[in-house]
């Protein structure tokens, strides 16, 4: 019995004793800054590489030239017995090699990728998940010498990366290790989820977050596809693959950030717009320029990815604090994905020794997508239940809503009737003040008044606003004068009408006093006194009521004009078929302005026979030119347009 178990134990252990695979190949390498296939030549000049996360920056003393060559060496042993019983193909696995490389086993070249001619890279050879097959004819019992010659430009990444799977093992084991069925299944799922949300966005463009989520899913699925070994079957230049991979991952993070911001905040803020511009810039640089510059852009993106992480985390926490629907569900999937992304990012940047890119982001993304799916399913159920409830109670709710709208409409109509009544009463007060009582054989004054606001009261159309015109006759020092004022009170409708009412009452009172007791004051003194009286009244409103005016006197016997312009549109003179401004600068502020001090300036101008003066408020320039394609009103901004209109109408107010 004991003999039987001994024989059985020997039979079971025999394969293990015969074959010592896998043979670890990650540690204890040597590097030389040139192509050198003889480890025994100048052995002291070879640099030790403790672990195979090797980059060209670890070596110095490269020969002059743009292209650098580096030789990596490691030996391994196979016993005579192992060699004799080796009846299966063996290989070695590397996670990544860049850029052009050639592999030698015991002096014989067994593999190569990429091509360099005349100091230029003709074809890039970078690859991931590199399986190097060891033909038995190139192996030998005892010590075997393994060389990797990697080449590239001085300013780009020239490297070899290994991981826990970097070992000599049976070829079938390495093929099993690098198979990517799960990745292909997941990326297909992500792609179809992205297409589905793209269709949702097409049907409802107002839900822009569906478009951004679609962008996130589709770019993520394409990025994962370019990370698989399937891409090498297309035999594309590895530089094209690498740059495409970079650009895809750039837009994946952008899509994620845009999705969170549009979903939680319902708008895109300026920092995210700047980040979007940044992504487009580094993508263009990556696509156009060299591999070394593309690697620098990748580093920039890796640093910016932390901004995306912090910004997205802030949005998620903000959503939870504001108790937004589905924010908690979204947060669970988000942080699961972030943890996986951070681990992959740190591994890709080789920040921590021994931490490589484990490519687990696809699983984190799967959790995230399922979280979104659950969230959208929940929203759909809520919407579906709400629609069913609406259908059950639709008729009753329509009747109830109609009654509420009818009541609101009646209330609004009552308020409008009361408002129009107030407008009407105010217009009744203003109308008697806006009169033209000038009687003169030498001076003619005409009015044209069109208020901004029109309203209907008791089936009649009325107007109300802040524009006012008054004209009359007074006598100063036994001379007859025509007095006038043109004013425009601040505000629309009732507010402007209040200012016009105050001006009309005060100005008419000043005229009445002068007509009863003819003054011995000069025209300048009379105008200044009138202006001061108006200013004292308006300033009592504490700046809430302002009015711009042109008021003046015309000497009937000489045609001399005396006037004051308080921030009113400039007076226009029409003489000899030419219209021009009497003024060219602002001299006084509006009446009612607090702190208005200084000397009043009364301007003069001698009118000739057949001269016409046109004085109007700013409404004379507010001409609607057209309405553009966006529905925006285009208003005239050319102050000389009115001059040309006056000339076309030959100075006639009614033309």
Mean pLDDT of 129-141: 90
Output 390 or 24, whichever has higher pLDDT.
24
Kindly report, residue by residue over 276-326, the tens digit of the pLDDT: 999 999 999 999 988 888 888 999 999 998 898 888 888 888 888 887 777
Average pLDDT, the chain: 83
Cα 478 to its chain centre, rounded Å, is 73
| Per-residue model confidence (pLDDT) at position 18 | 44
Output 72 or 17, whichever has higher pLDDT.
72
Q: 377 burial class (0-12, 13-18, 19+ CB within 10 angstroms)?
A: exposed
Neighbour count for residue 423 (Cβ, 10 Å): 22
In angstroms, the CA 262 to CA 197 distance is: 14
Output 212 or 398, whichever has higher pLDDT.
212
In angstroms, the CA 591 to CA 527 distance is: 13
Q: What is the three-class DSSP state of 596?
A: coil
Count how many Cα atoms sit within 13 Å of the Cα of residue 32 in the half-sphere of its side chain. Answer: 20
In the chain, domain spans: 21-178, 181-389, 424-648
Percent of the chain with pLDDT over 90: 20
With a cut of 70, say whether residue 53 has pLDDT above it.
Answer: yes
Mean pLDDT of 576-585: 86
Instruction: Rounding to the nearest 10 degrees, give the CA dihedral for residues 616, 621, 627, 632.
Output: -100
Cα 647 to its chain centre, rounded Å, is 50
| Per-residue model confidence (pLDDT) at position 209 | 84
| Per-residue model confidence (pLDDT) at position 484 | 94
Kindly report, residue by residue over 500-531, the tens digit of the pLDDT: 888 888 999 998 998 888 778 899 999 999 99
Percent of the chain with pLDDT over 70: 92
Kindly report, residue by residue over 596-640, the tens digit of the pLDDT: 666 788 999 999 988 888 888 877 777 777 777 777 777 777 777
Residue 531: phi, psi to the nearest 5? -65, -45
Helix (H) or strand (E) run with residue 426 in it: helix 394-430
Selection from 104, 100, 127, 102 nearest residue 114 by Cα = 100
Selection from 96, 80, 188 nearest residue 142 by Cα = 80
Residue spans of alpha helices (H) in 485-639 = 493-516, 523-539
Per CATH, domain 424-648 is 3.60.40.10 = yes
The architecture CATH gives domain 21-178: Sandwich (2.60)
With a cut of 60, say whether residue 2 has pLDDT above it.
Answer: no
Mean pLDDT of 53-57: 86
Output 303 or 182, whichever has higher pLDDT.
303
Cα 538 to its chain centre, rounded Å, is 48
Q: CB-based contacts of 206: which residues, under 8 Å, 6+ apart?
A: none
Kindly report, residue by residue over 97-121, the tens digit of the pLDDT: 988 999 999 989 999 988 888 778 8
Contact criterion met (CB below 8 Å) for 154 and 62: yes
Selection from 529, 532, 542, 531 nearest residue 593 by Cα = 542
Mean pLDDT of 432-456: 85
In angstroms, the CA 39 to CA 54 distance is: 18
Contact criterion met (CB below 8 Å) for 152 and 160: no
Selection from 167, 9, 142, 172 nearest residue 82 by Cα = 142
**Which of 124-128, 372-376, 439-443 has the weakest average pLDDT?**
372-376
Selection from 564, 584, 563, 589 nearest residue 640 by Cα = 584
| Per-residue model confidence (pLDDT) at position 464 | 83
**Interior CA angle at 442 toward 439 and 443, to 5°?**
65
| Per-residue model confidence (pLDDT) at position 356 | 61
Which pTM does this prediction carry?
0.54
| Per-residue model confidence (pLDDT) at position 12 | 39
Confidence of residue 355 (pLDDT cuts 50, 70, 90): low
In angstroms, the CA 179 to CA 160 distance is: 21
Kindly report, residue by residue over 155-176, the tens digit of the pLDDT: 788 899 988 788 999 988 888 8
Kindly report, residue by residue over 338-351, the tens digit of the pLDDT: 788 777 777 766 66
| Per-residue model confidence (pLDDT) at position 15 | 41
Examine residue 22 and say whether the peptide bond preceding it is cis (omega within 30 degrees of 0). yes
């Amino acid at each position: 019995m004991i003999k039987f178990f001994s024989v059985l134990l020997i039979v079971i252990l025999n394969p293990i004793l015969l074959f010592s695979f896998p043979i670890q190949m990650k540690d204890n390498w040597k590097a030389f800054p040139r192509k050198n296939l003889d480890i025994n030549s100048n052995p002291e000049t070879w640099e030790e590489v403790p672990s195979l996360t090797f980059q060209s920056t670890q070596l110095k003393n490269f020969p002059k030239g743009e292209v650098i060559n580096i030789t990596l060496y490691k030996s391994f042993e196979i016993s005579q017995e192992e060699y004799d019983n080796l009846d299966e193909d063996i290989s070695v696995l590397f996670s990544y090699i860049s850029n052009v490389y050639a592999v030698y086993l015991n002096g014989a070249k067994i593999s190569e990728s990429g091509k360099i001619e005349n100091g230029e890279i003709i074809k890039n050879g970078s690859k991931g998940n590199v399986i190097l097959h060891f033909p038995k004819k190139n192996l030998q019992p005892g010590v075997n010498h393994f060389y990797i010659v990697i080449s590239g430009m001085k300013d780009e990444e020239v490297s070899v990366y290994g991981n826990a799977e970097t070992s000599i093992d049976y070829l079938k084991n390495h093929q099993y290790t690098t198979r990517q069925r799960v990745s292909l299944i997941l990326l297909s799922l992500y792609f179809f989820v992205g297409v589905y949300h793209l269709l949702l966005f097409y049907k409802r463009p107002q839900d822009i977050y569906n478009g951004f989520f679609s962008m996130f899913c589709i770019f993520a699925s394409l990025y994962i596809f370019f990370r698989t070994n399937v891409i090498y079957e297309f035999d594309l230049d590895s530089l094209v693959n690498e740059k495409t991979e970079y650009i895809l991952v750039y837009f994946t993070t952008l899509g994620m950030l845009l999705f969170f911001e549009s979903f939680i905040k319902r708008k895109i803020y300026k920092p995210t717009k700047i980040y979007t511009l940044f992504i487009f810039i580094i993508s263009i640089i990556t696509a156009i320029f060299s591999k070394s510059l593309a690697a620098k852009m990748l580093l920039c993106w890796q640093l910016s990815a932390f901004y995306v992480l912090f910004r997205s985390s802030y949005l998620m926490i903000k959503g939870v604090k504001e108790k937004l629907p589905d924010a908690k569900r979204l947060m669970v999937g988000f942080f699961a994905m972030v943890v996986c992304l951070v681990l992959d990012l740190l591994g890709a940047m080789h920040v921590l020794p021994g931490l490589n890119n484990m490519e687990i982001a696809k699983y984190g993304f799967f959790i995230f997508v399922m979280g979104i799916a659950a969230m959208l399913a929940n929203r759909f159920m809520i919407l579906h239940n709400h629609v069913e409830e609406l259908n059950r109670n639709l008729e009753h709710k329509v009747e109830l809503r109609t009654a509420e709208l009818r009541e609101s409409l009646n209330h609004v109509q009552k308020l409008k009737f009361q408002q129009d009544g107030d407008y009407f009463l105010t217009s009744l007060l203003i109308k008697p003040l806006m009169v033209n009582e000038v009687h003169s054989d030498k001076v003619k004054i005409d009015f044209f008044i069109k208020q901004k606001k029109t309203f209907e009261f008791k089936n009649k159309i009325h107007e109300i606003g802040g524009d006012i015109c008054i004209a009359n006759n007074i006598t100063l020092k036994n001379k007859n004068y025509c007095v006038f004022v043109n004013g425009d009170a601040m505000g629309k409708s009732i507010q402007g009408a209040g200012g016009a009412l105050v001006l009309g009452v005060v100005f008419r009172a000043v005229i009445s006093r002068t007509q009863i007791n003819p003054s011995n004051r000069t025209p300048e003194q009379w105008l200044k006194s009138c202006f001061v009286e108006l200013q004292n009244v308006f300033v009592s409103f504490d700046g809430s009521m302002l009015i711009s005016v042109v008021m003046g006197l015309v000497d009937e016997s000489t045609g001399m004009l005396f006037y004051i312009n308080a921030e009113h549109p400039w007076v226009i003179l029409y003489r000899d078929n030419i219209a021009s401004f009497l003024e060219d600068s602002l001299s006084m502020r509006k009446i009612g302005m607090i702190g208005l001090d200084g000397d009043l300036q009364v301007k003069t101008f001698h009118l000739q026979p057949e001269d016409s003066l046109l004085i109007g408020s700013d409404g004379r320039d507010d001409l609607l030119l057209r309405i553009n394609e966006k529905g925006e009103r285009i208003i005239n901004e050319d102050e000389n347009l009115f001059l040309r209109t006056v000339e076309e109408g030959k100075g006639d107010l009614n033309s």
